[in-house]
């Protein structure tokens, strides 16, 4: 018979790893949700209501602990982002060709301004 010791962390890491497909997903999910919870607590007095409040009743005050408790009871789940077609990704990263105005005229006027300041001194 194995003896089970009380741990400082609730829920346990083993229980949380069972809710996600990898430890990296667990860390990312917990960190993102903890940031949201922290922002929610920061905006409480402002009445904005843009953030989702904690989804569990807890005695914990730490955002990461609250996030892990939400993950443990399946209130927060990881969802993969939608895939973007390759054509859309390439269209967003195109670099303009030589026909684009690179702002060379602005450099000339800036140089003239400096020369005018030097002659006024």
pLDDT one-digit tens code per residue, 18-67: 888 899 999 999 999 999 999 888 888 776 667 788 889 988 889 999 99
85 lies in some domain: no
Is residue 35 situated within a structural domain?
Answer: yes
Within a domain: residue 115? no
Q: Which residues 6+ apart lie within 8 Å of 117 measured at CB?
A: none
Specify if 119 maps to a domain. Answer: no
Written as six digits, the tokens of 10 are 């609730």
pLDDT in tens, 97-117: 555 555 555 555 445 444 444
Distance CA 50, CA 53 (A): 9
Domain that holds residue 73: 12-77
DSSP secondary structure of 31-48: HHHHHHHHHHHHTGGGT-
pLDDT of residue 29: 93
| Contact assessment for residue 54 and residue 39, using Cβ atoms and an 8 Å cutoff | no
Considering only the C-alpha atoms of the chain, give the largest distance between any 2 of them, rounded to a whole number of Å. Answer: 92
> Per the structure, how many domains does the chain have?
1
Domain-embedded: residue 118:
no
Peptide bond into 81 cis (omega under 30): no
* pTM across the whole model: 0.60
Residue 86: its pLDDT value, please? Answer: 73
């Amino acid at each position: 018979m194995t003896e089970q010791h009380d741990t400082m962390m609730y829920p346990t890491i083993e229980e949380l790893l069972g809710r996600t497909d990898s430890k990296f997903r667990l860390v990312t999910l917990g960190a993102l949700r903890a940031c949201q919870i922290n922002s929610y607590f920061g905006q409480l007095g402002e009445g904005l209501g843009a953030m989702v409040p904690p989804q569990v009743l807890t005695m914990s005050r730490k955002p990461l602990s609250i996030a892990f408790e939400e993950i443990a009871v399946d209130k927060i789940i990881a969802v993969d982002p939608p895939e973007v077609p390759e054509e859309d990704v390439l269209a967003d990263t195109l670099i303009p060709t030589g026909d684009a105005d690179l702002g060379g005229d602005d450099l000339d006027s800036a140089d003239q301004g400096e020369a005018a300041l030097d002659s006024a001194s």
